[in-house]
Amino acid sequence: MACSDFQDRFKGYPKEDTVINLESATSNEIADALSRLAHIAVVGDDWEFLDPDDLCTVHVIDQAANQQWPLQLRGAQFALHRDSHTQNYYAIMKHGKTPALGPDGQPLRLFETASYHDVFFAEGYLQALAEKCEFPQSLNAAASSPAPS
């Protein structure tokens, strides 16, 4: 296999590991981390806050299909499941007991892959975004507070 073939096969995948501190990261930095997980995203490949004053509505943009899904983070919870047929792990968003639904009327799968590890990290990023929406001041204060001695 030629080097260019190898590079084409991995286009879009992260080229290095990125460590992100969810307590001190901004909502935009966390959304960027979700965008770097595009290889396991089901609904889109770019996560953006289109209104800088609204950190509770994240837009998931599918650039290839020229579509976007606004996701309301206020009151959102995320859950990991395993598909009984494919054995893939996937993450969904819920408000209370009601899952966010996709165009097919089924729970909207935000991320899906055979690797529990990847979906686990995506779910953690999603939960951090929801927490920053609900409690923006407390997380920022905790991140800037000095450590107890």
Q: Where are the domains of the chain?
A: 25-134
Helix (H, G, I), strand (E, B) or coil at 115: coil
51: Cβ–Cβ under 8 A, 6 or more apart, which residues? 57
Distance CA 34, CA 45 (A): 8
pLDDT value, residue 4: 58
pLDDT value, residue 139: 47
In terms of C-beta density within 10 A (0-12 exposed, 13-18 middle, 19 or more buried), how is residue 117 classed?
A: exposed
pLDDT value, residue 107: 93
pLDDT value, residue 9: 53
H or E stretch covering 121:
helix 116-134
pLDDT value, residue 103: 82
The strand pairing partners of 47, in sequence order, are 60
DSSP-assigned states of every residue in 7-47: HHHTTTS-SS-----TTTS-HHHHHHHHHTTGGGBSS-SEE
The answer to whether 33 and 18 have CB atoms below 8 angstroms apart is yes
Low-confidence ranges of the chain (pLDDT < 70): 1-18, 137-149
Helix, strand, coil distribution of the chain in percent, nearest 5: 30, 25, 40
Architecture in CATH of 25-134: Roll (2.30)
Read off the pTM.
0.76
